[in-house]
Structure 1
Amino acid sequence: MTGAALTLGAGSAAAGPSGITFSVGSLQSDGSRTITIKEDGTTAGVVKWTADGDTLTAKDSYADGYGISGYVTANPYLIADTGGHNSPYTATAHRDLTENVTYTFWGCIGSNSIGLTCSNVYNVTS
């Protein structure tokens, strides 16, 4: 899943699960943000950037055969990916980043066999 997301960037992939919607929370005063991923109206997972602690979390809460992944454009990228694990499952990625820097952030749902459907890209800060 990781290679596809980095090749595609963000936005809807040509292939990937259908019936997917993304609900994006507002940028919090500390730079944090959350993306909720729904499949046909049911919450499939959540991707969250927590600025206080520089932590990216991807939570897969729906046993549909798809993984949830989150990305932050630090160098190298921070990637939290639940692919290959049974639901419910939470993956985290953490690295100490320079404070008050703006990064981009997005979430995806999918699998290696079907591809990814990804949210738009949103700003977050460290």
Structure 2
Amino acid sequence: MLKNYFKIALRTLIKNKTYALINILGLSIGITCASLILFYVEDELTYDQFNTKHEQIYRVVESDHSDPSAVEYYGQTSPAVATAMKNDVPGVNDFTRVYQPGGHRDILWNGDKVQVRTYIVGEANFFD
């Protein structure tokens, strides 16, 4: 029975090539878009979930308005912003600063020298 269904489907695909191509292309684009949207939403909803107080974590960003037609946002600010926010903004309990320097670094890992291309430096209270 299943063999018959495949035969009929194959004959229909061969007979109506353009229609079959449009259907298969549309289905593949739809599945790809749905998957990408799902991955994006899942990534956004699970951001900072490693921390037990993830609902209390906020990120301070800096915006560049030098070109009004294309405002850019950066995940970095001046180091003094964190201290000023803790002192001046009620509700800020603690802060940590992270920095992603450029370039390569050599580190020792289990006695072997390993070159690291991308890394982030954080303060000691990052996981607090």
Normalising by structure 2, we get a TM-score of: 0.26
Which structure: greater helix fraction?
2
Higher relative contact order (CA 8 A, sep 6+): 1
Normalising by structure 1, we get a TM-score of: 0.26
Instruction: Determine which structure has more spread, i.e. the larger CA radius of gyration.
Output: 2
Which structure: greater strand fraction?
1
